[in-house]
Amino acid sequence: MEQTTQQTDLVKTEQTDFDKEFHPNIVALVCNWCTYTAADLAGVTRLKYPAEIRMIRLMCTGMIDPRFIVESFLRGADGVFIGGCHPGDCHYINGNLKARLRIGGLKALLQGMGIEPQRLALHWIGASEGTEFQKQVKDFVEGIRELGPSGFGVYDSI
Amino acid sequence: MDKSFAFLKTNNQPNRILSRALGKLLDKGLVSAVMAPGITNGSDLPMPVLFTRDEAMESCIPLAPAAGVSAAVQAARIGRKVKDKRVAVVLKPCEVRGVIELAKLNQTSLESLAIISMECPGRMENDAYLAKLSASPDLPDLYLNDSSLQDQASSTCLSCDAFEPQGADITIHLFGLPVMEHIGISGMTAIGNELIEAMDLEKPGAAYDQREAMARLREKRGRAKEELFQKTGEILKNPDQYLEVLGNCLGCFNCRTACPLCYCRECVCARESFDRDLDDVSNRAKKTGQARMPAGLSMFHMTRMVHMSHACVGCGQCSSYCPSKIPVADLFRTMGQQVQNTLDYSPGRDPEEPIPYLRFKTEAGS
Amino acid sequence: MSKPGRFVVAGAGISGVRASLDLAETGHEVVLLDTAPVSGGILLALDRQFPNDHCGMCRMLPMLDRDQSKYFCMRLGMFHKNVTFMPNTEIKEIGGGPGDLKVLLQSWSAKVDPDLCNGCGDCLEVCPVSLPDDLADSLSLRKAIFKPGPNTSPSTLAIDPDSCILCGKCKEVCQTGAITLGPDYEQTLEEKVTAVIMATGVEYFDPGDASMYGYGKYADVITSLAFERMLSSSGPTQGRILRPSDGAPAENIAWIQCVGSRNLRLGADHCSGACCMFALKQAGLSMEKGSRPTIFYMDMRTFGRDWQKYLDRASSSGLRLVRCRPHSLEARNGGGLMLSYSPVPGELIDEHFDLVVLSVGRAPGWKGPDFSDQDGVLVTGGSKRLLDISRSLVSASSVSFRAAMISGSPVQAEQGDSITSQRVKVKSKVLVVGGGPAGLSASLALAGQGISVVIVEKNDFLGGNVSQISDAEARERIRELVRDAEKNQDIEILLKSRPMEFSGTTGNFQTHVLDQQNKGPIIEHGAVILASGGSQSTLPASLVHPKVMTVFDLHRRLDDPEIKEKDLNCLVFIQCFETRTKEKNYCSRLCCPTALRSVEKIRSTHPESRIIFFYRDIMTPGDLEHLYTRARELGAIFIPYQTDIPPKLILEKEQVVVEGFDPYLGEEVKFKADLVGLGSGLGPGSGHELAELFGIRVDREGFLIEADPKWRPVDSGREGIFICGLARNPVSLDEAVDEGRAAAQRAMRLVYNPQARMSVSTARIRPALCSMCGLCWTVCPYFARYPGSKGAMEVDPLACQGCGACVAICPNHASVLEVQGD
């Protein structure tokens, strides 16, 4: 028992640097057709991307109710990453373009409430763009890490 | 720009004289009804009143410096129902914008409406208006000619620089004119001109240069608006200030009821999934030792902003309705402007302009 | 009630996938096989495809009864309940007759167990064998154990038996024990099937075989297929355009067209039909990445409806086009290549390029056993010619319908299946607008499956432009279609009629058809096929002259005894006459072949006459190239012209003079013509009116627009409404017939089952909450929304695809996505 505690302590000391690093809560909303396929491709080609993202697969970015995003931030998300098909590639014809407009409006709104615009990202990532997925997610998570915790959750106290 | 418009002699009673001129439209059968601010039995608070007979127009106060409710919703109701007839509606510029936005949302049709609007000196809050009125029964007329009275308008109106109507058939000109002698009236559309014809107005005489008066007002209100947006922007961004201001929210949904744009039959925020369940609240309480109830009010306000900030016409009714005196309209307008700027959208500017979220059809790649 | 048929589809490229899905969607069972370890064919290598540079392959997936298939990107594979995919398999033997074929299939082991392999890739590192990657076409190497497709799922690896040396290293490192290297096992299986569809595709020309343009010698000379991989972010350069020789960014890129095609020296007297567009796409995409492209071409064959506009866009964004075939190239010091070419006689230019892309044509060639002569074996168009995606799919659907017809009447869907989706009653009747070849072929196909058809035809006869058609054999084919339709019990024909009012929802439409007295029935039907056709363009009044006519009229007139005996010293053809430009910015496809066919006819009666062609690009895709070759052999003279200086027609009372500029002679030329044929093209008929009536899209020129130019070529975008033939795009008779049948196939899938199955996830309106604002109506990409009679919007359940756009836009959550039985 004692030994275990010691070991834990040891591990703790070793991990201090890691713990010091901020691990953001990130929600990734990805479309079933393109970006999810790209994520899958990144996975099978063993491209490493940050473990902080919590990926939610949706049929289309056009079905993203801005409420999902608002609620994510209110409940403590530090960033929301959205990935959809390139314009013209959308399985549902133009759902991604609808998303683009909604996210545009929402971004202005969130910015008005003190959420840095970098915390909400929309990227077009095609099915064969595993490397692009990796790059965008990495950059996004790094950006959030630099920004630090969002602190927007306090708005939810009323 | 010198505007040439017809004159209506007002004999110190602009509201009464204008009412009579509007009555002529009824009398001559050019419109089947007039909806305008007026008072009905038992209350001095101007409300939208539907006039169908010339003689009843005596209780009409078309330029009333108060509005119990936004007349946009009522005008929209008429536009939606009335077919093959024309109804004149007297609306403040913000209400005109509201009707246009509602038309885009298929909640009304502009077809049967003849919209009469005015250069708007602003409205007083209801309680302030009623208090003042008991001491000064001529307040609706005096207000038009007295800038110190106009300075008592609601904070929304004092910071509103969209006081010139857009999209009206007839505009009533007040600024820079000796309103106790005469006011100006001009038709902005073919229908407007047709109606003006029937009002038996004086032929255009000396043109008034409104530029200076307009510019002064625009400058004054514009500055007030910038200051307000600046201040409110800080409130929204700063959690402490935000909580201090919105912490008083009771969750009564009055702002939503007051909003002319909130067209849903039943607000989504009042339903099912928006209800924060108790587990949620108690989880929060566990973290900090306390949690306010009811919860989820930020979610409510933000949802309303998500749905409607692009279309906010800045009428200020939400603030007027708020029992906690939260400056809801200031918050909404500040956010509205940011969203509208981003989307390059101006509510009420043009009935043909699509709602920004529907512009995907004209984008490349679709 | 008949039992479902069972079919073998050989080849799992897009044609095979399309044919399989068609059959599967109408209740049949399919064994889809491929010699490759994965499905997808060439498309696995193409990220974006012309004519819109988008993907969208997933739009091929069933729109109806979607729950039968897996809803994923098709690069991951194709999964349908009724389709069994057999990788590493080929057909050994086919016996029996149509309706009762015995097919012997042989599969070989991939040596990697798909259930155990997790795609970790440890084996890739230890495998000692390296060879050029097929997919990247020599641009990169792969191992003997490899990942067969960039996205393929499950992420199983495969071993190429031809290159594996059985060293066993992969087996040693495999942590899941997925690899078996034992003796090769082959499994044979006999399938009893109704019919076999061969969708084996085509082979691409290997320029190494003819050591053309230093391919194989210079690393910076690559094929168009290799360049495609270079463009892909899953390719060897992660999407960067680099010189293979030194990895430096490639800025100047040259495409050389017709490598391995249109080359008599190689015996390739055919055009590959898609390489021009392929090169235009690649050049366009390379410009997005900052390269400066030049295409060296012979004729820019932009013969599809939207292709000319695609070319115009590329040109206006900086693409350089040079009409000539470069004669040589060599390596340059410091990297890149020096290309020598001669754009006009006497002028030789040496130009430096970083990269030279050879637009390789198809080489004749399916290497496996050929069963195509056997009864009951059908071959898709994409296996005979290099077709673009849209034509491949049309042909595949047409062939799958023919296969289904062998099995007899349609399958009745099983009742009480385990899936709990709701059903919608549909009318088993199809309205066909237009009684030309496309409409007739659609009607006969449907009637052959026992579905009743109503043909609405504006003329007082069937057959469309039959009288205008210049080819006697084609005329006879159309007359035969007319005779078959007229005697078919299931086809009702309404002549001198037009559709006037249209309403209803998918599967339950009502159309009021009126005759010339404005009377007529209201027809209740489940689907509608618009095959309203079109006609040859009429010449403007200023060109009315006995010696001037369209190429179509001229071709027919050549049979007149009067003309045959007349002295014809000189005939002039002006191709692309006021087409492929301005108001009619599309190629009509038929003018070039018709005019070229005329050459032979003229020669038979007038061996000495001069035959002059003014042309911009001769459009003879595929085997039509023979006609062009033959016309040149017969001494026709071809003079290219530019749109800004078209040849001039000078009409005088007795004679016609054509003036133009011959760039080869470098001087003005003048011909006194006895006959002038103008390639003035074809145009659609009543496209705008039909589009308005049926609420579908139409282009500026009046062609009805499909839901997707590649993946859903005969769907209108509104479920239940299909478009085909000349109403949609200029087509040959064969293509019109194919499109008609493909449209019939799409309609069939909707109406064959009187109780069509809704998909599990569709939108629903909660009427009490709906304010009728119509936002959902505007955002719905499938026209699946309409204002209902009860003060709320309503959903067309068979048209809704569950995309959720309405849910996101509805502020009130009055529109919700509902998952049935979950």
Q: Is the peptide bond before B294 cis (omega within 30 degrees of 0)?
A: yes
Q: Residue A29 is which amino acid?
A: L
Element (H, E) at C611: strand C610-615
Q: Report the length, in residues, of chain B.
A: 366
Nearest to B310 among A87, A94, A105 (CB): A105
Q: Which two tokens stand for residue C175?
A: 């942590």
Average pLDDT over every residue of C216-225: 92
Does the domain spanning C760-819 belong to CATH 3.30.70.20?
yes
Average pLDDT over every residue of B43-58: 94
Q: Using CA coordinates, name the residue in chain A closest to B285.
A: A157
B297: closest CA of chain A, how far (Å)? 6
In a mutational test of the A interface, the residue from C47, C79, C234 whose CB has the highest number of chain A CBs within 10 Å is C234
Integer angstrom CA distances of residue B210 from B62, B122, B178, C49, C658? 21, 18, 11, 61, 69
Partner chains of B (3+ C-beta pairs under 8 Å): A, C
Question: Of the ranges B17-26, B170-179, C399-408, which one carries the lowest mean pLDDT score?
Answer: C399-408
- What sections of C676-815 are H helices per DSSP? 687-694, 733-751, 775-779, 805-809
Do residues C437 and C529 lie in contact, with contact meaning Cβ atoms separated by under 8 Å? no
Determine the 3-state secondary structure of A22 from DSSP: coil
For C316-348, how does the pLDDT look when each residue is reduced to its tens digit (9 = 90+)? 999 999 999 998 999 988 888 999 999 888 889
- Asked if residue C413 has pLDDT above 70, the reply is no
Partner chains of C (3+ C-beta pairs under 8 Å): A, B
Of C236, C260, C443, the residue nearest C364 (C-alpha): C260
**Residue B4: pLDDT band by 50, 70, 90 thresholds?**
low
C-chain residues near A37 (CB < 8 A): 72-73, 75-76, 151
C202: closest CA of chain B, how far (Å)? 31
Query: Taking the domain C423-535+683-756, which CATH number applies?
Result: 3.50.50.60
B-chain residues near A84 (CB < 8 A): none
> Helix (H) and strand (E) counts for chain B?
15, 7
Query: How far apart are the C-alpha atoms of C554 and C536, rounded to whole Å?
Result: 12
H, E, C per residue of B238-285:
CHHHHHHHHCCCCCCCHHHHHCCCCCCCCCHHHCHHHCCCHHHHHHHH
| Higher local confidence (pLDDT), B206 or C796 | C796
Of C276, C435, C293, C425, the residue nearest C360 (C-alpha): C276
C-chain residues near A31 (CB < 8 A): none
Nearest to C811 among B268, B358, B365 (CB): B268
Query: How far apart are the C-alpha atoms of B267 and B308, rounded to whole Å?
Result: 12
Give the start-to-end residue ranges of the domains of chain C. 1-108+186-202+366-412, 110-184, 205-363, 423-535+683-756, 541-680, 760-819
C-chain residues near A131 (CB < 8 A): 233-234, 238-239
Of C50, C71, C48, the residue nearest C391 (C-alpha): C50
B150: closest CA of chain C, how far (Å)? 37
Counted across chains A and B, CB pairs separated by less than 8 A come out at: 103
Q: Residue C800 is which amino acid?
A: C
What's the pLDDT at C822?
Answer: 40
A4: closest CA of chain C, how far (Å)? 31
Question: Is the CB of B266 less than 8 angstroms away from the CB of C812?
Answer: yes
What's the pLDDT at C564?
Answer: 82
Question: Is the CB of C234 less than 8 angstroms away from the CB of A128?
Answer: yes
- Asked if residue A12 has pLDDT above 50, the reply is no
Determine the 3-state secondary structure of C658 from DSSP: strand
Integer angstrom CA distances of residue C127 from C121, C140, C167? 10, 16, 8
What's the pLDDT at C385?
Answer: 79
- Asked if residue C415 has pLDDT above 60, the reply is no
For C48-85, how does the pLDDT look when each residue is reduced to its tens digit (9 = 90+)? 999 999 998 999 999 888 888 888 999 888 899 999 99
Question: Is the CB of B263 less than 8 angstroms away from the CB of C768?
Answer: no
Question: Is the CB of A151 less than 8 angstroms away from the CB of B239?
Answer: yes
What integer best gives the mean pLDDT of chain C? 91
Question: Is the CB of C768 less than 8 angstroms away from the CB of B107?
Answer: no
| Higher local confidence (pLDDT), A77 or B281 | A77
> Is-same-fold flag (C1-108+186-202+366-412; C541-680)?
yes
- Asked if residue C420 has pLDDT above 70, the reply is no
For B313-346, how does the pLDDT look when each residue is reduced to its tens digit (9 = 90+)? 999 999 999 999 999 999 999 999 999 999 999 9
Q: How many CB atoms are closer than 10 A to CB C506?
A: 25
Q: Which residues pair with C268 in a beta bridge?
A: C263
- Asked if residue C99 has pLDDT above 90, the reply is no
Considering the segment(s) C541-680 as one domain, its CATH architecture is 3-Layer(bba) Sandwich (3.50)
Q: Using CA coordinates, name the residue in chain C closest to A37.
A: C73
Domains within chain A, CATH numbers bracketed = 24-48+55-143 (3.40.50)
- Asked if residue A4 has pLDDT above 60, the reply is no
Integer angstrom CA distances of residue C393 from C329, C624, C660? 38, 21, 41
Do residues C152 and C116 lie in contact, with contact meaning Cβ atoms separated by under 8 Å? no
Q: How many CB atoms are closer than 10 A to CB B12?
A: 13
Q: Which two tokens stand for residue C290?
A: 């900052």
For C771-788, how does the pLDDT look when each residue is reduced to its tens digit (9 = 90+)? 999 999 999 999 999 999
Percent of all residues in chain C with a pLDDT value above 90, rounded to a whole number? 69
- What sections of C407-537 are H helices per DSSP? 437-448, 472-487
Q: Which of residues 152-181 of C touch A (CB under 8 A)?
A: 153, 155
Q: Which CATH class is domain C1-108+186-202+366-412?
A: alpha beta
Q: Taken in order C507, C508, C512, C515, is the CA torsion positive or negative?
A: positive
Question: Of the ranges C113-122, C159-168, C538-547, which one carries the lowest mean pLDDT score?
Answer: C113-122
Specify the DSSP class assigned to residue C290: T
What's the pLDDT at B159?
Answer: 97
Element (H, E) at B215: helix B211-237
Q: Which of A5-14, B285-294, C363-372 has the highest mean pLDDT?
A: B285-294
In a mutational test of the C interface, the residue from A29, A30, A45, A93 whose CB has the highest number of chain C CBs within 10 Å is A93
Query: How far apart are the C-alpha atoms of C696 and C253, rounded to whole Å?
Result: 41
Class of residue C514 by CB neighbours under 10 A (exposed 0-12, middle 13-18, buried 19+): middle
Question: Is the CB of A58 less than 8 angstroms away from the CB of C805?
Answer: no
- Asked if residue C796 has pLDDT above 60, the reply is yes
The residues, any chain, with a CB within 8 Å of residue B139's CB and separated by 6 or more, are B65, B129, B132, B133, B149
Does the domain spanning C110-184 belong to CATH 3.20.20.140?
no
Q: Which two tokens stand for residue C432?
A: 């066909």
What integer best gives the mean pLDDT of chain B? 93
Taking the alpha carbons at both ends of chain B, their separation in whole angstroms is: 43
Nearest to A59 among C76, C151, C803 (CB): C803
Average pLDDT over every residue of C87-116: 89
Interior angle at CA C499, CA C493 and CA C501, nearest 5? 140
Q: In B, what residues contact C, Cβ < 8 A?
A: 105-107, 263-268, 271, 273, 307-308, 355, 357-358, 360-361, 365
What's the pLDDT at C69?
Answer: 87
- Asked if residue A115 has pLDDT above 90, the reply is yes
| Higher local confidence (pLDDT), C486 or B366 | C486
| Greatest extent of chain B over all pairs of C-alpha atoms, in Å | 75
H, E, C per residue of B16-85:
HHHHHHHHHHHHCCCCCEEEEEECCCCCCCCEEEEECCHHHHHHECCCCCECCCCHHHHHHHHHHHCCCC
What's the pLDDT at C411?
Answer: 64
- Please indicate if any CB of chain A lies within 8 Å of the CB of C419: no
What's the pLDDT at B366?
Answer: 35
Interface predicted TM-score (ipTM): 0.93
Considering the segment(s) C205-363 as one domain, its CATH architecture is 3-Layer(bba) Sandwich (3.50)
Query: How far apart are the C-alpha atoms of A44 and C154, rounded to whole Å?
Result: 9
For A19-32, how does the pLDDT look when each residue is reduced to its tens digit (9 = 90+)? 678 999 999 999 99
What's the pLDDT at B247?
Answer: 94
A-chain residues near B326 (CB < 8 A): none
- Asked if residue C244 has pLDDT above 70, the reply is yes
**Residue C290: pLDDT band by 50, 70, 90 thresholds?**
very high
Question: Is the CB of A70 less than 8 angstroms away from the CB of B295?
Answer: no
Question: Is the CB of A89 less than 8 angstroms away from the CB of C71?
Answer: no
A-chain residues near C808 (CB < 8 A): 62-66, 98-99, 102
Query: How far apart are the C-alpha atoms of B95 and B97, rounded to whole Å?
Result: 5
Query: How far apart are the C-alpha atoms of C784 and C794, rounded to whole Å?
Result: 8
**Residue A18: pLDDT band by 50, 70, 90 thresholds?**
low
For C731-790, how does the pLDDT look when each residue is reduced to its tens digit (9 = 90+)? 999 999 999 999 999 999 999 888 888 887 899 999 999 999 999 999 999 999 999 988
For B84-125, how does the pLDDT look when each residue is reduced to its tens digit (9 = 90+)? 999 999 999 999 999 999 999 999 999 999 999 999 999 999
Q: Which residues pair with C721 in a beta bridge?
A: C528
- Residue given tokens 């979607």 in the structure block: C66
A-chain residues near B284 (CB < 8 A): 156-157
Of C101, C86, C2, the residue nearest C37 (C-alpha): C86
Average pLDDT over every residue of C382-405: 91
What's the pLDDT at C68?
Answer: 86
Q: Taken in order B63, B66, B70, B75, is the CA torsion positive or negative?
A: negative
